Structure 1
Amino acid sequence: MADPAPRRRDRPDGSKAAAGRTRRPTERRGPLRWWRRRGIRARLVLTSAAALALALFGLARLFAFAVGHSMLATLDSSTRRSASDVVTLINANRLPDPILTAGGTMTIQVVDPTGRIRAASPGADRLVPLLDAHTLAAARRDGRARFLDGRGYGMPAVLRVVALPADDGETVIAATSFEQVQDGLKTVSRILVIGAPILLVLLGTAGWLVIGGALRPITELRRGAEEISGTARSRRLPVPEARDEVHDLAVTLNDMLHRLERAEARQRALVSDTAHELRSPLASIRAQLEVALDHPDGQRWSETAAGVLADTLRLSRLADDLLVLARLDEHGVRPAAREAVDLAALARAAGERHPAARVPVTVDAGEPVIVHGDVKGLTRLLDNLVDNAMRHAATGVRVRVARAGRRAELCVCDDGPGIPPADRERVFARFTRLDEGRSRDEGGAGLGLAIVRETARAHGGDAHLEDASPGLRAVVRLPLRGPAR
């Protein structure tokens, strides 16, 4: 009989749930995720400790091999020297029996061509040679030392055996116990097994302390950044004494903080000056409307409307100027649009826009002078300079456009009272008026020259004021048209 279908259980919300439980996908918790959660200090120490452990392991193996090879070579040399001394005695017919060795640690047998033992050292077997005939013949030919199991001869388990030929076909067999080499290797291994972990722990601890000291300036930078709040003024991050990458980072961050403070101060000044400029026209509009509403019968509504319109136009001009400055600040050192613009044509058009002005506007612009930039922005720059010059000129305004090397030069001159040299740079600041007592309607909000300089810099140039004797000359230099970027 087939198994019944799995029953479903009712969930608390009324839906059906299968009898088999569906597992949620769990986040993988592997070594990589564990490693990523470690700090820089821990990762550096662990990495260096792992590399050091591998290096110590390799060096320990190499050292143990070198020590073992050296001890084995010394043992073979001693055994071969003892056998060579016996060979010398045989060749001189002065072979004693038994053969005495220094210290009594060497086992020596002298085997004749028939395989019989002619002489031996005390304690050596006198019946059975240590090497069989085949091995003995091979040992005579190559002279190499060999390992031999000595347990069958009542000797230590491992022997090192050398066979050297002598006169009359005799062979000298010298054997030495390998235990001293084994004991030496065990001692070296024991020292390495105990010393390597201790050295690894010491070096790891030293690395932890050194890396911690190297990262301490970064910790101080973080703490310094935490102490700088939104209302803090002129706060700087601590700069470490070491001339390293962290020092460069701290200097760069402090420079950034300085720029941010300047931008914040500039923004606060702009907001404050804007609010101050808005108060006067708004107060004027409010006063005119309140008077008109309080005395409607004796009010000349056309004059009130004209006054309100004048203040509204003033607010509109202020809003336009602020919008231009905001766009210049947004685009930074590049204008919003880049196209070929003829400054000479713009200057002629600016002169034609003032046919019935208080003073005449003369334009000296011959051949085309092409620059890359924004037509609207450059037109506003020209209008601001011409309007500013017309307000202060006594008899006329002159506009000149020419080439000056690899730059285009725009000059707007007036014959007015001019500006003292100490104030010629200050007037380019926003909301700057040299004569605070003059009419705001006549002088504007003090943003005209600020817009001129910001526009010139956005086009890769600059603007400044010069003495025209008499009057003042505003000079704007822009790079001539090059390959479009």
Structure 2
Amino acid sequence: MGGKDPGETGEGVGSLRPLPLSVQARLTLATAVLSLIVCTAIGIALDLLIRDRLRQDVFADTQRATTEWIGSMTATPSPPVTTSEVDLLQLVDAHGHVVVASRAASGRPPISTLRPASDDRIQHGVACADGECVMFTATRPSPQEERLLWGGAAHVVYAGLVEPPLLGTRRLELLLASGVLAVSALLTWIAAFLIGRTLRPVEAMRARMAEITVTDLSKRVPEPPGDDAVAQLARTANKTLGRLEEAVEQQRNFSSMVSHELRTPLTGLRARLEEALTYPDVDPRAALRDALSTADRFQAIIEEMLSLARVRTAAPGHREPVRLGTLVGEEVASRRAGLLIRVDAEEDVEVLGNRVQLGEVLTNLLVNAQRHARTVVEVRVERRDGQAVVSVRDDGAGVAPADRERVFEPFVRLAEGRRRDPEGSGLGLAISRAIARAHQGDLGIEDSPQGPRFVLRLPLPPRPPT
């Protein structure tokens, strides 16, 4: 009383769900079904072929026996002497009486009542009686032979053979069915072995991937030998893990540097505001001006951080043909009068890229060069080694070899840079390199006779086929 039927709670048999099969189990099952279907079709074809071939052989033997006996007959035929497996031979007259027969067929009724017509003198058949079936050939002598031997009376010669066991029973089908099952089972076992061996590296990769966490991205999946799809998958997964580890490490370093760079001005801002609240003699308007200046610095740093993040994580955006010589001329023309900027640009050096982003790179390089130059900045645009190369050199103090990579890290500012531009964020060169690499190029510092030489390399677009 008060109980519920299993069907009402969804807990009965109807709510049971089959367990999901693994990939290996599904592939093995599919192989088993497919091999069973194919082997069954082959078995049926073999059964029909063997039965047809056995019938043809038996009828060929019985037909040969009738024609040989007819060829040796006289007006008073004698019982034939059988020398082959065909031992049932009878000569039957027009009234259906056995005139003469072989030893094995004597005393038996006519093998069959089938009587071939004169225009179709050889016919085959199967006659069954008393649980025994006989395959026979009924041959009627030619009209000339009937006139010579029996005065034109129609006679029929029968030659028969007890139906072979393979034709009279289901033994052949049982043998073929056993073979089909055995071959299907063998193929399924081989397929299961090969599938398991093929998927074993995938399982090893899955197990290793399950061990990888955000706190430890140094592990890599095992790479099987060879160059098949699984090996390529493992190598691709390891490359992806490498890029992910690098990105996470960059993010950690970036977060650490951001917190450091923002903490210092934030601490100064808080101290300035607390001072204005604590000491009445502090000019509040001056404190607010200082706070506003610090807020502007915050805003500039945050905007540059967002710009760097966008460049690192997104494609360059809309690409178009950009002539670097023209772009350099526009950026140089927009600079304030002051230091001399010399431009040496080859014509028609063109790349595919985002014009705004490439312009930002050139702006950062020119600002940096003007900040450190003494008298002159030199800009050169050329083709070199199959690339478009833009070099910006100033005649300043230069960058030590040990610092040539550090200056491209976010918030890294050398002592000279801090002295010349105390309010700088140290993100300009990092953003410039990120933009260059997003365009499949690079940005670095190379040797020069005097001062640093920043070199931007970008790939040239493929030439159209001629």
Give how far 1:84 is off. Answer: 4.2
The correspondence of residues 470-485 of structure 1 with structure 2, limited to 5 A, is: 470-477=450-457
The match for 1:381 is 361
SS at match of 2:415: coil
The match for 1:8 is none
- In the alignment, the residues of structure 1 paired with residue 422 and residue 108 of structure 2 have an alpha-carbon distance, to the nearest angstrom, of 135
The correspondence of residues 59-458 of structure 1 with structure 2, limited to 5 A, is: 59-90=42-73, 95-96=77-78, 98-101=79-82, 106-111=87-92, 117-122=98-103, 124=105, 130=111, 135-138=115-118, 141-149=120-128, 156-163=132-139, 165=141, 167=145, 168-169=148-149, 173-181=157-165, 185-241=169-225, 243-297=227-281, 299=282, 304=287, 307-332=290-315, 334-335=316-317, 342-351=326-335, 353=336, 355=337, 360-364=339-343, 376-394=356-374, 396-400=375-379, 402=381, 404=383, 410-435=390-415, 439=419, 441-442=421-422, 444-458=424-438
SS at match of 2:91: strand
Q: Which ranges of structure 2 fall in alignment gaps of 5 or more residues?
A: 1-7, 9-13
- In the alignment, the residues of structure 1 paired with residue 439 and residue 100 of structure 2 have an alpha-carbon distance, to the nearest angstrom, of 111
The match for 2:4 is none
SS at match of 1:231: coil
**Paired residues of 1:415 and 1:472 also in contact (CA < 8 A):** yes
SS at match of 1:418: coil
TM-score by length of 2: 0.76
Stretch of structure 1 that moved more, 207-216 or 142-151:
142-151
Give how far 1:136 is off. Answer: 4.1
Give how far 1:272 is off. Answer: 0.6
Give how far 1:89 is off. Answer: 3.8
Give how far 1:431 is off. Answer: 2.4
- In the alignment, the residues of structure 2 paired with residue 462 and residue 127 of structure 1 have an alpha-carbon distance, to the nearest angstrom, of 105
SS at match of 1:444: coil
Considering only aligned residues, what root-mean-square deviation do their CA atoms show, in Å?
A: 4.2
- In the alignment, the residues of structure 1 paired with residue 457 and residue 211 of structure 2 have an alpha-carbon distance, to the nearest angstrom, of 45
TM-score by length of 1: 0.74
Percent of residue pairs identical: 31
**Paired residues of 1:399 and 1:410 also in contact (CA < 8 A):** no
- In the alignment, the residues of structure 1 paired with residue 273 and residue 124 of structure 2 have an alpha-carbon distance, to the nearest angstrom, of 123
Q: Which ranges of structure 1 fall in alignment gaps of 5 or more residues?
A: 1-22, 24-28
Q: Cα deviation per residue 1:387-429 (whole Å; 9 max; x = unaligned)?
A: 32233223x2325365548976654332211113443343222
Change (3 A) 1:89 1:461: closer
Give how far 1:294 is off. Answer: 3.7
SS at match of 1:90: coil
- In the alignment, the residues of structure 1 paired with residue 418 and residue 97 of structure 2 have an alpha-carbon distance, to the nearest angstrom, of 137
SS at match of 1:145: strand
Change (3 A) 1:463 1:74: closer
